[in-house]
Copies of this chain bind each other. A is one copy, B any other.
Amino acid sequence: MTSRTPAGETPTGVVRADGLRSPVGHADVPARPGREIPEATVARLPVYLRALTALVDGGTATCSSEELAGAAGVNSAKLRKDLSYLGSYGTRGVGYDVDYLRYQIAREIGLTHDWPVVIVGIGNLGHALANYSGFRSRGFRVVALLDAATTRHEELVAGLEVRPFDELEDIVGTQSVAIGVIATPAVAAQDVADRMVAAGITSILNFAPTVLSVPDGVDVRKVDLSIELQILAYHEQRKTGQLPTEGASA
């Protein structure tokens, strides 16, 4: 029962069971108090979304902030404050309607429709990404796999044919692609990013270990495996008593 919506059903018709003075379903948005969502909150919304989906799949209809916070691995006060930026979607004394809240978060993030995505650099990592089913199930659709090496071309990966990198502009233009993924070697990453931006892409997820420079208005997020490991190593070193200044192991 995924499409069951409480009270008022439609996605567009905001329910407003409560009579709060707060931001009701006004079309007027300019200075709406609840609309400036802090970046830290935005980063947690996907986590809540995932936890809610798990609850829905488990058949839970309602949950308290305490339960949901537990499932998401955060403090319950933080969860409530985060959700309060979206509006008042809970009921005091009761909790949150799981399916309703899930839809509200999905709408806020912009997952009510699928986002087309291109992946550039179909090597080790690119293959794994292309085969990753979590893309599709979480609101993203890989529409093209591009690589500069001709030896990669025409290869079928996850049902898609690897295409020459030069087709980037064409694909981005015709399919209105806004999000690009870079999985090329580091030396090529800046060039690829430049081409992406020129083609009209405005959001980039970068796996190459390089600092990208892009114009204003373009968002870049990086996923850097080595950095994560190095952060772990730093703390690990402290745990084991092997402090940095010790090292005269000779």
Contact assessment for A225 and B27 in the assembled complex, using a CB-CB cutoff below 8 Å: no
A235→B43 CA distance, assembly (Å): 11
Interface size on A, residues (CB 8 A): 82
A110→B246 CA distance, assembly (Å): 11
Contact assessment for B230 and A27 in the assembled complex, using a CB-CB cutoff below 8 Å: no
In the assembled complex, how far is the CB of residue A3 from the closest CB belonging to chain B, in whole angstroms? 18
A211→B179 CA distance, assembly (Å): 26
Q: Mark A46-61 against chain B: 1 for CB-CB distance below 8 A, else 0.
A: 1101110000000000
Instruction: Please judge, given known A-B contacts A115-B233, A242-B27, whether A226 and B14 are in contact too, CB under 8 Å.
Output: no
A227→B135 CA distance, assembly (Å): 10
In the assembled complex, how far is the CB of residue A51 from the closest CB belonging to chain B, in whole angstroms? 8
Contact assessment for B217 and A239 in the assembled complex, using a CB-CB cutoff below 8 Å: yes
Contact assessment for B231 and A27 in the assembled complex, using a CB-CB cutoff below 8 Å: no
Copies of this polypeptide in the complex: 2
Within 110-135 of A, Cβ neighbours of B (below 8 Å) are at: 110-112, 115, 117, 124-125, 127-129, 131-132, 134-135
A187→B155 CA distance, assembly (Å): 31
Contact assessment for A203 and B217 in the assembled complex, using a CB-CB cutoff below 8 Å: no
Contact assessment for A27 and B241 in the assembled complex, using a CB-CB cutoff below 8 Å: yes
- Taking a contact as CB atoms closer than 8 A, the residue among B12, B23, B131, B250 that contacts A250 in the complex is B12
* A83 CB–B CB distance under 8 Å: no
* A138 CB–B CB distance under 8 Å: yes
Contact assessment for B27 and A249 in the assembled complex, using a CB-CB cutoff below 8 Å: yes
Contact assessment for B235 and A203 in the assembled complex, using a CB-CB cutoff below 8 Å: yes
Instruction: Please judge, given known A-B contacts A128-B127, A178-B240, A223-B223, whether A229 and B12 are in contact too, CB under 8 Å.
Output: no
Closest to A22 in B: B245
* A170 CB–B CB distance under 8 Å: no
The winner among A51, A73, A117, A213 for most chain B CB atoms within 10 A is: A73
Contact assessment for A115 and B248 in the assembled complex, using a CB-CB cutoff below 8 Å: no
* A140 CB–B CB distance under 8 Å: yes
Contact assessment for A248 and B24 in the assembled complex, using a CB-CB cutoff below 8 Å: yes
Contact assessment for B111 and A250 in the assembled complex, using a CB-CB cutoff below 8 Å: no
Contact assessment for A115 and B245 in the assembled complex, using a CB-CB cutoff below 8 Å: no
* A81 CB–B CB distance under 8 Å: no
22 contacts between A and B (CB under 8 A): A12-B249, A26-B248, A27-B246, A27-B248, A29-B243, A42-B235, A47-B227, A73-B213, A107-B247, A110-B234, A115-B236, A117-B229, A124-B127, A127-B128, A128-B128, A134-B209, A135-B229, A139-B229, A139-B230, A140-B226, A140-B233, A178-B236
